[in-house]
Amino acid sequence: LNVLLAFFSWTGNTRIVAEEIVRCLSPHHKIDVCMIEPRRRRKHLEWLLLSLTPSSKVEILPAIYDASGYDLIILGAPKWSLSCPPMNCYLSRLKGGGKKLAAIFITYGGFDEKRYLNKLVELVEFKGARVKATLLARRKEIRRGEYREWVRMFCERLECANGNTTAV
Ligand SMILES: Cc1cc2nc3c(=O)[nH]c(=O)nc-3n(C[C@H](O)[C@H](O)[C@H](O)COP(=O)(O)O)c2cc1C
């Protein structure tokens, strides 16, 4: 598979999971990693305020927006209040994902993560991609290393989905 892995991570948790996904998939697939980075640094309070506005966006550094050359698009983000502005900006520009396999992983502190994940799944499917695997990793569980097993299962699901695209 030709894989695009695009993720945003502010305090490093989502990045840890992203790196494990790369370790898991890279022996068998070609992966391009795209780190979504805000153009400007912001303090926690500013991020918190922005994250309380649904669909708020902030400008990000150049990223891979054209997914047309990929078979699988994996997106990763932290669960931030109501929205994650750098991810919103990225998703608004992402093109060429129609009919592609997709997967989403979210890291979170401890609440409301499922609703956020579902919203992201809806958005990505609205763009025409088919979400075949999702992963929710709690910050505490990332610190303990428990996420590794889930990442392995997440990657296995994706590889199966690829083999079964007509059956699902
Ligand atoms: C602005 C902000 C808002 C957050 N809102 C939530 C939240 O609503 N629910 C939750 O479970 N965790 C929340 N968190 C915690 C993060 O989701 C969690 O620490 C995540 O793993 C951070 O990912 P990162 O280290 O990749 O940036 C929030 C963190 C920040 C900075």
pLDDT averages per 10-residue partition of the chain, 168 residues: 97 98 96 98 98 96 97 98 97 94 97 96 95 97 95 95 57
Q: Of 56, 118, 115, nearest to 91 (Cα)?
A: 56
- Tokens representing 35 are 């780190």
Residues 20, 27: Cα–Cα separation, whole Å: 12
Instruction: Find out whether the beta carbon of 56 lies less than 6 Å from any atom of ligand 1.
Output: no
pTM score: 0.96
**Neighbouring-strand partners of residue 77:** 106
Instruction: Find out whether the beta carbon of 8 lies less than 6 Å from any atom of ligand 1.
Output: no
Q: What number does the ligand 1 atom closest to the CA of 48 have?
A: 1
Phi, psi of 132 (to 5 degrees): -105, -15
Q: Which amino acid is at 81?
A: S
Instruction: Find out whether the beta carbon of 139 lies less than 6 Å from any atom of ligand 1.
Output: yes
What is the CB neighbour count within 10 angstroms for residue 37?
16
Best of 5, 7, 11, 52 for a ligand 1 pocket test (most atoms within 8 Å of beta carbon): 11
- Tokens representing 39 are 């153009």
